[in-house]
């Protein structure tokens, strides 16, 4: 049963911390067979999809009334396009970005409580063993020895207070599925810094290939407040 199926339980979650949102362009052929046919992700003039890597360092994470503690996470999303219904501006921000739809491809965490909840929402999380986020870039290490690094090589726009909505779908969702929803408020954000991503190890293949270096845009978000509505899969009877 898909996450959008009738009867799926809504679970509210909240995160406080910092985030680097790293945007890269990847060849569409790497995703053959991994995207439901009813999705038509936009491609650029070189036949590439837009991918966002979210590196998070959160001092607090909660699910409902249960505190999960501090957590590092890595998310990989593929852009599906603008949301059919824009959620509208977020109050009290300098910049309110258009609502976007994404397909979740990969997630990793170093917190076992977060990992258990993500599994109940339909994810298969990998395990993070090290994380570092700074003003000039950062790195994340996975349990199998793989590592993702990124570097900032220029100035961006900001600082600014930014608001954004995301709708997150899963590869197993059917047409008309109800997405996970994210509303985020970011203070002192610096947007669009040119940079580079370096991949070490095969954990993220076939999407990110070991040894490759990719041009990137880095959105640095030092003060993140995110409210999420997850959809938990109904238990099989």
pLDDT of residue 194: 97
Q: What letter does residue 168 receive in the DSSP assignment?
A: E
Alpha-carbon span 185 to 44, nearest angstrom: 28
Q: How confident is the model over 82-128, as pLDDT tens digits?
A: 766 556 667 778 888 888 999 999 999 999 999 999 999 999 999 99
Strand, coil or helix: 189: strand
Q: How confident is the model over 30-85, as pLDDT tens digits?
A: 998 888 888 899 999 999 999 999 999 999 999 999 999 999 999 999 999 876 65
**Helices (H), ranges, the chain:** 112-120
Strand, coil or helix: 153: coil
Tell me: pLDDT of 233 over 80. no
pLDDT of residue 87: 61
Burial (CB count within 10 angstroms: exposed 0-12, middle 13-18, buried 19+), residue 108: buried
Tell me: pLDDT of 3 over 80. no
pTM of the model: 0.92
What mean pLDDT do residues 184-212 have? 94
Tell me: pLDDT of 217 over 60. yes
Contact call for residues 21 and 219 (beta carbons, < 8 A)? yes
Structure tokens at 78: 């593929």
Tell me: pLDDT of 211 over 90. yes
How far is the CA of 153 from the CAs of 13, 135, 207, in angstroms?
A: 34, 11, 23
Tell me: pLDDT of 6 over 70. no
pLDDT of residue 86: 55
Alpha-carbon span 24 to 12, nearest angstrom: 29
């Amino acid at each position: 049963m898909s996450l959008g199926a009738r009867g799926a339980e809504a679970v509210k979650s909240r995160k406080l911390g910092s985030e680097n949102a790293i945007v890269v362009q990847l060849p569409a052929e790497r995703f053959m067979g991994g995207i439901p046919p009813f999705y038509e992700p936009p491609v650029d003039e070189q036949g590439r999809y837009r991918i966002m890597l979210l590196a998070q360092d959160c001092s607090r994470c909660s699910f409902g009334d249960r505190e999960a503690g501090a957590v590092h996470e890595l998310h990989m999303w593929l852009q599906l396009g603008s949301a059919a219904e824009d959620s509208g501006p977020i109050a009290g921000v300098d910049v309110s970005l258009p609502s976007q739809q994404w397909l979740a491809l990969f997630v990793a965490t170093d917190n076992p409580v977060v990992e258990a909840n993500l599994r109940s929402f339909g994810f298969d999380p990998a395990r993070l063993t090290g994380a570092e986020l700074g003003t000039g870039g950062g790195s994340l290490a996975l349990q199998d020895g793989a590592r993702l690094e990124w570097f900032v090589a220029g100035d961006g726009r900001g600082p600014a207070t930014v608001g954004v909505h995301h709708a997150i779908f899963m590869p197993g969702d059917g047409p008309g599925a109800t997405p996970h929803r994210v509303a985020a408020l970011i203070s002192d954000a610096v947007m669009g810094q040119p940079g580079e991503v370096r991949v070490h190890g095969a954990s993220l293949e076939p999407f990110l290939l070991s040894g490759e270096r990719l041009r990137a845009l880095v959105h640095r978000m030092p003060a993140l407040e995110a409210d999420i509505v997850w959809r938990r899969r109904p238990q099989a009877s």
